[in-house]
Amino acid sequence: MARLSERVRDAARTLAAAGVPSPEHDARELAAHVLGEPRYPALEPLRLPDSFDSDFALAVSRRAAREPLQHILGYTGFRHVTLAVDPAVFVPRPETEVVAGVAIDEATRLAADGRVPLIVDLCSGSGAIAASVGDEVPTATVVAVDVSADAARVTRANLAAAGKPESRVELGDVADPSLFADLDGRVDVVVSNPPYIPPGAIPRDPEVRDYDPVLALFGGGEDGLDVPRAVIAAAARLLRCGGLLVMEHADVQGAQACDAAAATGEFRQIETRQDLTGRDRMLVARRR
């Protein structure tokens, strides 16, 4: 009978033929998942469960159909946390880890000065950014909001898993001027990975195009920046003097995002920063 490693090699070939970008990695992750292990075993198992072949074949067929690996596993890694994910939320991407890192660095700086940083995550989705802030800056107060009830549910679960079960998570529209009105002028960091894809820009990857929620992808308006502009407006209202706005955007939207922040008249030190691939990825600005 074929060994586990041989089964995994066969699965990787199937995934590669289906166009999966990382077939070997995904085949190993799926095998570990079916075995009920957190990672692929370092040693060849002496015996596999009786149901392994059928369960593994089903998992591989789902991935070959370009269903996201994270949906099949039910979780994904993000910075130092493990996040629950399901089809109701956008699967966090590595580039957003850099966005989260800017917010975390600011919160860490404030905490080192003896303050209790107040961080608001707008359009929280899975709660990836909020959970990472809570995990890496335990003294911070984390608040999050999403327009999707399912996203708010997943955010709550991931914040609880990150050690922040008491965090305030609300269902709301970032364009609502009354959202978090009690926090106006008090927030240290507003961070967001809002939907920002323009309406005519259909994502190339099937994992995104066919599986991520439409609500989490398209930002509204001809340029996809209606929701990001609402985030900027909310940040202008929520941030204290000197507070920091960190907002993800597409690599072609840097100038427009900076212009939107400048147009409010409420920000200084407005800049575009890059992700680890060198692409423009986020707006960073300080409240006047």
Residue 265 lies in a domain: yes
Among residues 16, 40, 65, the one where a domain terminates is: 65
Residue 81: the pLDDT is 98
Say whether both 142 and 279 belong to one domain: yes
Residue 72 lies in a domain: no
Say whether both 135 and 197 belong to one domain: yes
Say whether both 137 and 271 belong to one domain: yes
Say whether both 226 and 163 belong to one domain: yes
3-state helix, strand, coil in the chain (%, to 5): 40, 20, 40
Q: Look over the chain and give the mean of its residue pLDDT values, rounded to a whole number.
A: 96
Mean pLDDT (whole number) for 67-86: 96
Other CB atoms closer than 10 Å to residue 217's CB: what's the count?
17
Residue closest to 55 by CA, chosen among 21, 11, 18 = 11
pLDDT digits over 235-282, tens only? 999 999 999 999 999 999 999 999 999 999 999 999 999 999 999 999
Say whether both 228 and 147 belong to one domain: yes
CATH number at residue 133: 3.40.50.150
Residue 46: the pLDDT is 84
Say whether both 20 and 153 belong to one domain: no
Say whether both 94 and 31 belong to one domain: no
Q: Is 1 a residue whose pLDDT tops 70?
A: no
Overall number of domains in the chain: 2
Residue type, 114: G
CB-CB contact of 45 with 4 (8 Å): yes
Residue 217 lies in a domain: yes
* pLDDT tier, 2 (very low <50, low <70, confident <90, very high otherwise): confident
Residue 125 lies in a domain: yes
Residue closest to 218 by CA, chosen among 205, 231, 203, 199 = 199
DSSP state for residue 197 in the 8-state scheme: B
Distance CA 7, CA 242 (A): 56
Residue 14 lies in a domain: yes
Question: Sign of torsion, CA 47 49 50 53?
Answer: negative
Q: Kind of pairing, strands 280-287 and 239-248?
A: antiparallel
Among residues 18, 40, 65, the one where a domain terminates is: 65
Question: Sign of torsion, CA 40 46 49 51?
Answer: positive
Mean pLDDT (whole number) for 57-79: 97
Say whether both 189 and 252 belong to one domain: yes
Task: Kindly report the pTM of this predicted structure.
Answer: 0.94
Mean pLDDT (whole number) for 190-206: 92
Residue closest to 68 by CA, chosen among 88, 82, 53 = 88
Say whether both 37 and 180 belong to one domain: no
Say whether both 144 and 56 belong to one domain: no
Residue 133 lies in a domain: yes
- 265-284: b (≥16 Cβ within 10 Å) or e: ebbeebebeebeeeebbbbb
Residue 202: the pLDDT is 84
Residue 212 lies in a domain: yes
pLDDT digits over 199-231, tens only? 888 888 999 999 999 999 999 999 999 999 999
pLDDT digits over 100-117, tens only? 999 999 999 999 999 999
Rounded to a whole number of angstroms, the distance between the first and last alpha carbons of the chain is: 69
Q: Is 56 a residue whose pLDDT tops 80?
A: yes
Residue 199: the pLDDT is 86
Say whether both 163 and 91 belong to one domain: yes
**Token pair for residue 187?**
């927030």
* pLDDT tier, 99 (very low <50, low <70, confident <90, very high otherwise): very high
Range(s) of the domain holding residue 197: 79-287
Residue 73 lies in a domain: no
Among residues 38, 65, 92, the one where a domain terminates is: 65
Say whether both 132 and 272 belong to one domain: yes
Mean pLDDT (whole number) for 87-106: 96
